């Protein structure tokens, strides 16, 4: 906790920022909905990877699927945020 404060002070001195980024309730709701979509994609991908393991596909596929699901869920998160900002959730 103390290191967090020290790094925050050093960052404030180094960047000379005076404005605090403002996030309102709308931005928080959009972020939560996008995160929800991202988690759904990741969970579905991992479930499919585990099911494929029971069907006899090599364990290497599990690691490839983990990487692919992580990448895809991050893309879905960003696209969802852009979509929700445009439709005005």
What span, in angstroms and rounded, lies between the C-alpha atoms of 4 and 84? Answer: 32
Confidence (pLDDT) at 6: 86
Helix or strand or coil: residue 17?
Answer: coil
pLDDT tens sequence across 15-58: 877 777 777 899 999 999 999 999 999 999 999 999 998 898 88
Confidence (pLDDT) at 83: 96
């Amino acid at each position: 906790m103390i290191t967090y404060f020290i790094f925050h002070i050093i960052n404030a001195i180094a960047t000379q920022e005076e404005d605090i980024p403002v996030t309102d309730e709308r931005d928080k709701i959009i972020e939560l909905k996008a995160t929800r979509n991202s988690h759904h994609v990741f969970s579905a991908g991992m479930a499919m990877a585990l099911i494929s393991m029971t069907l006899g596909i090599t364990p290497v596929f599990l690691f490839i699927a983990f990487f692919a699901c992580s990448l895809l869920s991050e893309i879905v998160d960003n696209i969802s945020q852009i979509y929700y900002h445009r439709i005005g959730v």
